[in-house]
Structure 1
Amino acid sequence: MMRKLILGFRSKYLLLYSPLSQKCQSNPDKSLLSLIPSSFAFSHDRACSSTPKQEAKTSVLSNYLISTLKFSKSRALTVTNQYSYIKSLEKPEKTVLFFKGVGFSDAQVKYIASHMPSLLFASVEKTLKPKFVFLQELGLSGPRIGDVISRNPNILNYSLDRSLKPSVLLIKEVLTSDGKNRSEEQVKDDLCRILMRSNRISSSKSNLEANIDYLKSCGVCGSQLSVTLLQNPGLFVLRKEKILQLVKRALDMDFTMGSRMLVYGVLTLSRLSVKTLSGKFEVFGAFGFSKAEIVSMFRKSPIAFHTSKEMLRSKLELYLSTLGIDKTLLVQHPVILSCSAEKRVVPRYRVVEKLKSLGLLSKGSSFYSAMCMSNENFLDKYILRFEKEAEELMLAYNGQLVNTSEKKEVS
């Protein structure tokens, strides 16, 4: 009851003695409601008068990003709005000077600032320098450290002692203990490649270590482990459940634990969803391949399934219909599907067919071996050793001779 009386008294007091009520009393013809628009106008004027001051504060950073770091106006505005509370350029200027002082190019500094603007406001002494010192002690100095940080600036966001240092040292251990006897320079180059290819590889040692241990239990160890780490470091930062799922998918396609092909199956499946892989199976099926044949091809050469459905369909049409290659050859050697049709398969096919027409190719010659050997070896074995026909064979190789076989001409 007492609370209601106090609230009622305060309301009456405000109504009687507020500036608006006094104006109403001096001019009875004006109601209180008629004065409300002027109150809104007053509030609006105050808001507008404060806007230029706010713009003046934020435009300092915006101008700096545009004039010094060559940001586009739109990107500068985005960053400025994100850090509207920044009133001084002291930290951004120190950070930029630090990056340039360790040898970063203007383009690298711009990329880092644009993709990880929070680093512009980090403490050089407490946050940036200690991480650079650690990386430099590993030998990642000069162009190497510039390449790593500009490609993966997220590294500088991780805690040095809890994440960055233990993770990077673990990666280095994998590289130096895989039996490949890398030189010190090779270790540094490989370490840089891994750090540049995954922005999360140094985020958590525990997750990285758990995935390494699990892959080792599947038979992926030694050089296979380091090669996998180089090819797809992102695989090592997946959740454990995700890796278990990928391994199960590989086992369902007749890969076996301990097989040297298992890791290549897992790597390919990590890039292909169940739906995408099913779509590629359908393409093979349309050309008469059975499911067992397709699974066998995948197990022998997972890389052959990296190509898009459209490219896969185009290659199968070319090899089976235009060139008349036996389907059995592709089932036995699916790696041919991963070769470039334009640069390798078609030119070599022309030479092989020309040699057949001239009766110069032995019966034991394998089309598969002709596809898979190096360019130098192919030229020596299939062209240069036939001195009289070498010029004609070279013309065929370059597509300047009409195919003499009964099959369609291949351009």
Structure 2
Amino acid sequence: MLRLRCSILTHLLSFRATSPVSPLHRLLSAAVSPDPVSAFAVDDYLVRTCGLTPAQALKASPKLSHLKSPANPDAVLAFLAGLGLSGADVAAAVARDPHLLCAQVEKTLAPVVAGLTGLGLSPSEIAHLVSLGPHRFRRRSIVSKLEYCLTLFGSSDNLFRALKSGSVLSSDLEGVVKPNVTFLQECGLGACDIAKLYVLMPSSLSISTEHIRTAVACVEGLGVPRGSRMFKHALRAVAFLSEEEITTKIEHLKKTFRWSDAEVGIAVSKAPGVLSKSKESLERRFEFLISEVGLEPAYIAYRPAMLMYSLEGRMRPRYYAVKFLKENGLIDHDRDFFNTVMVSEKVFVEKFICPHKDAAPHLADDYGAACRGEVPARFSFT
């Protein structure tokens, strides 16, 4: 009997039905009636029928110990197959949320699919949603939450990108998400800004509005006003830092780069992300920029964006390449360091590497090696 059931389900899980509310589960019920004599072995069902590994089944089975027959799980599996989920997708969904097998197809899953279809989601997008969060899919409230989030994020592509980053659909929509969005809009952030902020900082829509208000006050205290271009970046940098932690980071910036209070304020307002850098990272940049490149602290304070660039993958290789060109008389010495660092890689190569392929045929290879963390002999200066 078990072997017959497995055979039928294996066929059904590989079949893509054209309608989400398909008669596949009724076919199962008609073809296979539960054996009242033999007990329902959940572990065996999860492995043989759902495709879970023995370890996954062992972890999931206690959550399904109340099941006495495969009737409802069979109906759920058939319904998921009708949505277009592959056997592997179904196995992954069940492993993440074993209670999915307990959902009622006619009362819950089918109405959810109908509601999502009404919002304009395609069958493949609905199937993708199941894969991302099977526990959310078995709650009918997902329809109203998705309707709001689609408006907020602007498109289904943006929505699914956001869902990969966080759990906005699991948050309290009326009590937390909407008030947070409203407050962020009052701070000058548009829907696009809020969507991007959420992708970078998923908890921005699930933490309390009071917490966000505190973070906004802190950002303004650092000299970054609401509505400014740097506001959302500063908010992301300090959102989960206490006042004491922020003070500690500012004091470290002053000590490391020998900045005055005013210079720290300038640097943070221009590049609030510096508050997210570790002490070790900042100290390595200090050693390079001041001791090796020879920059003045004030120069860095007014151009703090360079502190956000990769030291090994960007600043150091470019410094070596430009210095090589200067030392060999291939370019004049009046080259601003920040201007050589801020341009894109493509522009830097076109401007500083390609024009000298005849005079310095090894420059491109040496520069590439420097980007990989090596120091070519020609880049060793005394």
- The alignment's TM-score, normalised by the length of structure 2, stands at 0.77
Match of 1:156 among 134, 137, 140: 137
Shift of 1:377: 0.9
Shift of 1:335: 2.0
Q: Quote the residue 1:369 is aligned against.
A: 339
Deviation readout 1:247-271 (Å, 9 max, x if unpaired): 1221222222332322211122224
1:397 partner amino acid: Y
Match of 2:379 among 403, 406, 410: 403
Aligned ranges for residues 123-272 of structure 1 at < 5 Å? Answer: 123-141=104-122, 143-160=124-141, 164-176=142-154, 187-201=155-169, 203-206=171-174, 207-221=176-190, 223-272=192-241
Q: Residues 61 and 80 of structure 1 are in contact (CA less than 8 Å); yes or no, is this contact kept in structure 2?
A: yes
Deviation readout 1:207-258 (Å, 9 max, x if unpaired): 3222221111111125433432443343122221111121122122222233
Shift of 1:290: 3.5
Q: CA–CA distance in 1 between the matches of 2:199 and 2:109?
A: 26
Distance 1:386 1:78, change over 3 A: closer
Q: CA–CA distance in 2 between the matches of 1:108 and 1:312?
A: 44
Q: Residues 148 and 196 of structure 1 are in contact (CA less than 8 Å); yes or no, is this contact kept in structure 2?
A: no
Q: Residues 167 and 204 of structure 1 are in contact (CA less than 8 Å); yes or no, is this contact kept in structure 2?
A: no
Q: CA–CA distance in 2 between the matches of 1:82 and 1:323?
A: 61
Q: CA–CA distance in 2 between the matches of 1:71 and 1:351?
A: 54
Match of 1:311 among 281, 284, 291: 281
Q: Residues 112 and 149 of structure 1 are in contact (CA less than 8 Å); yes or no, is this contact kept in structure 2?
A: yes
Q: Quote the residue 2:21 is aligned against.
A: none
Deviation readout 1:49-68 (Å, 9 max, x if unpaired): xxxxxxx857x111112333
Distance 1:313 1:275, change over 3 A: farther
Helix, strand or coil: the match of 2:239? helix
Distance 1:269 1:96, change over 3 A: farther
Shift of 1:346: 1.8
Distance 1:226 1:67, change over 3 A: same
Q: CA–CA distance in 2 between the matches of 1:151 and 1:401?
A: 51
Distance 1:369 1:242, change over 3 A: same
Q: Residues 279 and 309 of structure 1 are in contact (CA less than 8 Å); yes or no, is this contact kept in structure 2?
A: no
Shift of 1:395: 3.4
Q: Residues 281 and 291 of structure 1 are in contact (CA less than 8 Å); yes or no, is this contact kept in structure 2?
A: no
Q: Quote the residue 1:96 is aligned against.
A: 77
Is 1:302 aligned to residue 272 of structure 2? yes
Q: Quote the residue 2:329 is aligned against.
A: 359
Is 1:344 aligned to residue 350 of structure 2? no
Extract unaligned runs of 5+ from structure 2: 1-37, 371-375
Q: Between the two proteins, what is the percent identity of the paired residues?
A: 26
Shift of 1:105: 3.1
Q: Residues 198 and 233 of structure 1 are in contact (CA less than 8 Å); yes or no, is this contact kept in structure 2?
A: yes
Aligned ranges for residues 72-111 of structure 1 at < 5 Å? Answer: 72-111=53-92
Q: CA–CA distance in 2 between the matches of 1:93 and 1:282?
A: 62
Q: Residues 336 and 371 of structure 1 are in contact (CA less than 8 Å); yes or no, is this contact kept in structure 2?
A: yes
Q: Quote the residue 2:301 is aligned against.
A: 331
Which is greater in Rg?
A: 1
Distance 1:66 1:245, change over 3 A: same
Q: Residues 347 and 396 of structure 1 are in contact (CA less than 8 Å); yes or no, is this contact kept in structure 2?
A: no
More deviation, 94-103/121-130: 94-103
Q: Residues 220 and 260 of structure 1 are in contact (CA less than 8 Å); yes or no, is this contact kept in structure 2?
A: no
Match of 1:118 among 90, 99, 117: 99
Q: Residues 166 and 205 of structure 1 are in contact (CA less than 8 Å); yes or no, is this contact kept in structure 2?
A: no
Shift >6 Å, 4+ stretches: none
Shift of 1:323: 4.6
Helix, strand or coil: the match of 1:384? helix
Q: CA–CA distance in 2 between the matches of 1:128 and 1:325?
A: 63
Distance 1:122 1:289, change over 3 A: farther
Q: CA–CA distance in 2 between the matches of 1:279 and 1:376?
A: 38
Q: Quote the residue 1:383 is aligned against.
A: 353
Q: Quote the residue 2:25 is aligned against.
A: none
- The alignment's TM-score, normalised by the length of structure 1, stands at 0.72
Q: Residues 51 and 88 of structure 2 are in contact (CA less than 8 Å); yes or no, is this contact kept in structure 1?
A: no
Q: CA–CA distance in 1 between the matches of 2:132 and 2:274?
A: 29
